[in-house]
């Protein structure tokens, strides 16, 4: 049967359209991994940040643990798709004035989100972060529909758990690049205990007996899981008066203790008195004087109540050295680029405690 010219033209156009669709390869990302490395020691230019929401929490790495931000990451390379960035925001009322989100769209790109899927300039974003997560409520996809051309010098960035986004581009639209201050490069293996029930004496006695048979390295590896729950008075009795021995052990190995482990020890202040306080003060005071920025960040992450229980020990240790220099250094940190409003409050509490010791 002879086809009309109109039919042939429509078939040709359909063929071109289908061919164009087939020729649009997906955008992939072979380099970005969801899992972050555990960071043991912080380098210069790195800081701790505690995420106060669940926008990235597909695993424990982004939930109730501090992440590590490299503030120098973008000094010699551009922001890239897949990066989890640390950026300034007032959305969601983060107390620090900062949050984190993953970059999915770059300046000049057209980003379309439809049916829970992201496409960039007509290409499917075929990555683990290119679609809605399984954690989302059912039938919630349409809420996130977008069709935006990202302006110059701005980025489209969102948390991996879309319905938990309280800042970022779902809330604020494309984010200015100059608000991005660093990249999340790892996490610190620790846990901030909202409540710390004391371990029973029977458990501590069993633990002490087991510890006596271990090497120093095995002790250091195992101690951090239970340390935030310790009551030193209970441990003193259960261990047969070995509390001083344990704290002296921690003091001797303080240079080998990682960032996450420091946060665990900062929570272990219950029942400290007398000579035990002296040793504990020496440990935390030494950390403060040798690495003030990261100690300030760690104390702030703990929250005011827990931080204040440690600040007195730090100030006490500083009073046996050049406390005026310690106060000057702390005061200088208030003008630093890295410091957040809650961290300024921590510094002010530290300075107040040191001033009280200075006047004694």
* 196 phi and psi angles, rounded to 5 deg: -125, 80
**pLDDT confidence of residue 8:** 46
At residue 18, the pLDDT reads 41
Q: Provide the terminal-to-terminal Cα distance of the chain, rounded to the nearest Å.
A: 107
Tokens standing for 304?
């005011």
Q: At what angle do helices 304-318 and 341-358 cross, to 10 degrees?
A: 40
Q: What does the pLDDT read at residue 23?
A: 55
Q: pLDDT below 70 — which residues of the chain?
A: 1-23, 93, 191-198, 360
Residue 136 is predicted with a pLDDT of 79
Chain-centroid distance of CA 12 in Å reads 55
pLDDT for position 53 = 86
CATH number for the domain formed by residue range(s) 46-187:
2.10.109.10
Sequence-separated (6 or more) residues with CB below 8 Å from residue 62: 51, 56, 100, 160, 187
Which helix (H) or strand (E) is 84 found in, with range? strand 84-88
If we measure between CA atoms, which residue out of 285, 288, 300 comes closest to residue 339?
A: 300
| The predicted structure's pLDDT at residue 72 | 96
> Rounded to an integer, what is the distance from CA 275 to the centroid of its chain?
35
Distance CA 265, CA 230 (A): 10
| Digit-coded pLDDT (tens) for 28-60 | 999 999 999 989 889 989 999 988 888 998 877
* Inter-residue contact 330 to 291 (CB < 8 Å): no
Beta bridge partners of 258: none
Write down the domain spans for the chain. 46-187, 201-358
Determine the Cα–Cα distance for residues 252 and 254; give it in Å rounded to an integer: 6
Q: Which of 311, 314, 324 is nearest to 358 (CA)?
A: 324
Q: Which of 126, 48, 143, 23 is nearest to 81 (CA)?
A: 126
Which pair of tokens denotes residue 312?
A: 């007195």
What is the predicted pLDDT for the residue at 222? 80
pTM over 0.85: no
Question: Checking DSSP bridges between strand 123-124 and strand 146-149, what pairing results, if any?
Answer: unpaired
């Amino acid at each position: 049967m002879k086809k009309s010219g109109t039919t042939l033209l429509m078939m040709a156009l359909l063929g071109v359209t289908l061919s164009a669709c087939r020729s649009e390869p997906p955008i992939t990302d072979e380099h970005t991994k969801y899992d972050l490395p555990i960071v043991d020691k912080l380098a210069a230019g790195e800081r701790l940040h505690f995420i106060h929401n669940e926008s990235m929490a597909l695993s424990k790495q982004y939930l109730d643990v501090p992440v590590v931000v490299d503030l120098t990451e973008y000094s010699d390379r551009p922001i890239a798709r897949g990066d989890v960035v640390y950026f300034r925001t007032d959305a969601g009322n983060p107390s620090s004035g900062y949050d984190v989100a993953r970059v999915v769209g770059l300046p000049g790109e057209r980003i379309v989100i439809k049916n829970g899927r992201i496409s960039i300039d007509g290409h499917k974003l075929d990555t683990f972060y290119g679609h809605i997560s399984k954690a989302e409520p059912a039938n919630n996809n349409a809420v996130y529909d977008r069709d935006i051309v990202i302006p110059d010098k701005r980025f489209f960035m969102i948390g991996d758990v879309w319905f938990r986004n309280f800042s970022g581009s779902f809330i604020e639209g494309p984010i200015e690049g100059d608000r991005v201050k660093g990249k999340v490069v790892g996490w610190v293996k620790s846990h901030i205990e909202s409540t710390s029930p004391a371990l029973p004496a029977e458990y501590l006695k069993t633990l002490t007996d087991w510890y006596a048979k271990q090497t120093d390295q095995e002790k250091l590896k195992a101690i951090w899981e239970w340390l935030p729950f310790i009551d030193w008075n209970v441990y003193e009795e259960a261990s047969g008066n070995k509390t001083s021995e344990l704290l002296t052990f921690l003091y001797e190995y303080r240079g080998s203790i990682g960032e996450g482990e420091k946060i665990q020890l900062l929570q272990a202040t219950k029942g400290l008195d007398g000579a035990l306080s002296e040793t504990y003060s020496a440990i935390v005071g030494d950390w403060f004087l040798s690495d003030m920025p990261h100690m300030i960040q760690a104390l702030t992450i703990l929250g005011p109540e827990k931080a204040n229980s440690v600040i007195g020990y730090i100030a006490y240790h500083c009073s046996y050295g050049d406390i005026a220099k310690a106060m000057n250094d702390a005061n200088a940190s208030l003008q630093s680029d890295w410091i957040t409003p809650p961290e300024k409050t921590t510094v002010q509490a530290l300075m107040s405690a040191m001033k009280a010791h200075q006047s004694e």
